[in-house]
């Protein structure tokens, strides 16, 4: 019985082999072309920070990563373009989702694409109440290294 299943699987693989090679070649070409072509709908971190309530695609450089270990949910903040506290937009990933992502140091000093909903966050920093725009990420597919 097992020999029959093995032969059947090998026959299917053999028949599809030509198609698999064509599909792989097409995927490789598509991936190369997508890297070469700029995303026309991307925003800078500063532009995205103004789009509160909107889903955006942001292209920016990661300049800082910090985990607030004593805060509720142990959020990790990724600063874009300018270090905290002057960055226009932060990316936030809570501890419950952090394991889904590649080690965050992988993104340091890289240009990334982030897709998500821009929200406002009110917080205290050095005794002053401040307002910041942020995008919360729950899935690693929302974060891609470009350069």
Yes or no: say if 75 and 95 are a contact pair by the CB < 8 Å rule. yes
- Return the pLDDT at 71: 84
- Which pLDDT tens digit goes with each residue over 62-90? 999 999 888 888 999 999 999 988 889 99
High-pLDDT (> 90) share of the chain, % = 52
Q: What is the pTM of this model?
A: 0.68
Q: Which CATH number fits domain 45-145: 2.170.150.70, 3.40.50.740, 2.40.50.550, 3.20.20.60?
A: 2.40.50.550
| Cα–Cα distance for residue pair 96/83, rounded to 1 Å | 25
């Amino acid at each position: 019985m097992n020999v029959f299943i093995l032969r059947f699987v090998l026959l299917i693989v053999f028949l599809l082999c030509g198609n698999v090679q064509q599909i792989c070649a097409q995927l490789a070409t598509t991936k190369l072309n997508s890297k070469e072509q700029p995303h026309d709908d991307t925003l800078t971190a500063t532009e995205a920070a103004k789009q509160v309530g909107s889903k955006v695609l942001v292209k920016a450089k990661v300049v800082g990563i910090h985990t607030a270990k004593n805060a509720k949910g142990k959020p990790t903040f990724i600063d874009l373009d300018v270090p905290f506290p002057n960055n226009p937009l932060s990316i936030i990933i809570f501890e419950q989702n952090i394991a889904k992502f590649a080690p965050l140091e992988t993104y340091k000093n890289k240009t990334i694409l982030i897709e998500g909903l821009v929200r406002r966050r009110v917080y205290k920093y050095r005794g002053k109440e401040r307002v910041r725009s942020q995008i919360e990420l729950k899935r690693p597919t929302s974060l891609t290294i470009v350069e």
